[in-house]
Amino acid sequence: MRPKQRVKRGKSGVMVIVPKRGRKRVAAALMAAVATAGALTFQAGRRLGRAVTLAERRPPAVVRLAPEMPKPKLPGGKPPQQKPKQQLRVYKPGLSGRALAKAYGVEFAQHWKDKFTPSEALLHDIKIMIAEECAKYNKRCKINRTGKQLVDPYQVYTTFSVETNFNPNAIGKNGELGIGQLKKDTLDDLAKWPMPVKVTDPFDLRQNIAASVRHYAWLARAIPSEKRTTWRKYAAYNQGYGAAVVKPQDSKAAKKANQYAKKSWDRHRRFRKKGVFRGY
């Protein structure tokens, strides 16, 4: 048990009466009192009246700050300016279908087997939208303690490349819509989840990209931590959460998911090596 102690305050200072067995415990408190009290009278056990005058506390150290360095100036006399943020070139809200294809200078192709060649302006706007949408979840969600991003922009960019080759008007053989090839059931679920994403036009570039990023953010939370890998996220996006996580690896859906993940992973490493999002 902690020994009882009495504290008396007088004109000359503070007097603490402590039993003999408790004097070692109050050593730390006694030393801390040096910095705040001018004089302290300490009595232990029966030795009352014995005064120990402590030295006066030292004056606080003076901290001197280094003078502020002047900002570097250009030869013209103006300070350096930050690089302007990347801006969208063509995209406007509500632009979809044939109007979108005409604005970006690409062919209008909807069948999933049709070949599509994206333009430079289309790829530029897609990168900006992916970077902006991923930043929303990477700042708000603190799921990764290792410093990794919740939604990797390269993963979303690779998915669009594998699914439709960046064709915003594509329609899949099973009814998938838009650049991210999302089904109507998935779009309905995205509107009900926390941080909902409502898609009124699946062929609108911004809405479809926002829905695809939100779907990847859900997969990052749903997949257990011991199985949460880029490979498995690709498989879950293509064949569903059950095929990538729940079903055995020898099932038909799991084999398709692994084939898709292998193709996506090879392209993912190629895009990252090129630094596709450098500057975005």
- pLDDT tens figures, 192-233: 888 889 999 999 999 999 999 999 999 888 888 888 888 889
CB 48 within 8 A of CB 69: no
Q: Comparing C-alpha atoms, which of 252, 209, 178, 164 is closest to residue 242?
A: 252
Question: Is 60 exceeded by the pLDDT of residue 41?
Answer: no
pLDDT at residue number 112: 76
Q: Which has more pLDDT, 276 or 250?
A: 276
Interval 14-30 mean pLDDT: 60
Q: What is the model's pLDDT at position 54?
A: 40
Query: In the predicted model, is pLDDT for residue 52 greater than 60?
Result: no
Torsion angle (degrees, nearest 10) of CA 46, 48, 51, 52? 20
Q: Report whether pLDDT(20) > 80.
A: no
> What is the pLDDT at residue 55?
39
* Residue pLDDT, tens place only, 236-262: 998 888 877 777 677 788 888 889 999
The percentage of residues in the chain with a pLDDT greater than 70, rounded to a whole number, is 66
Number of helices (H), then strands (E), belonging to the chain: the values are 9, 3
Higher pLDDT, 69 or 46: 69
Q: Sheet harboring 14-18: ordered strands across?
A: 6-9, 14-18, 40-44
Pairing, β 6-9 against β 14-18: antiparallel
**What DSSP assignment string belongs to 12-32?**
S-EEEEE-GGGTTTTHHHHHH
Question: CA torsion 100→105→107→111, rounded to 10°?
Answer: -40
pLDDT at 173 over 80: yes
State yes or no: pLDDT of 58 exceeds 50. Answer: no
CA distance 170 to 181: 8
Given a cut of 90, whether residue 77 has pLDDT beyond it is: no
92, pLDDT greater than 60: yes
Which residues lie below 8 Å from residue 110, measured CB to CB, with a gap of 6+? Answer: 169, 170, 171
CA dist 214 and 216 (Å) reads 5
Determine how many CB atoms are found less than 10 A away from the CB of residue 31: 10
Q: Report the 10 Å Cβ neighbour count for 264.
A: 23
DSSP reduced 3-state for 33: helix
pLDDT at 95 over 80: yes
pLDDT over threshold 50, residue 265:
yes
Q: Tokens for 96?
A: 């979809």
Q: What percent of the chain has pLDDT over 90?
A: 39
Tell me which of 77 and 209 has the higher pLDDT.
209
53 band by pLDDT with thresholds 50, 70 and 90: very low
More confidently predicted of 133 and 60:
133
Average pLDDT, the chain: 78
Give per-residue pLDDT as tens, 110-141: 887 788 999 999 999 999 999 999 988 887 65
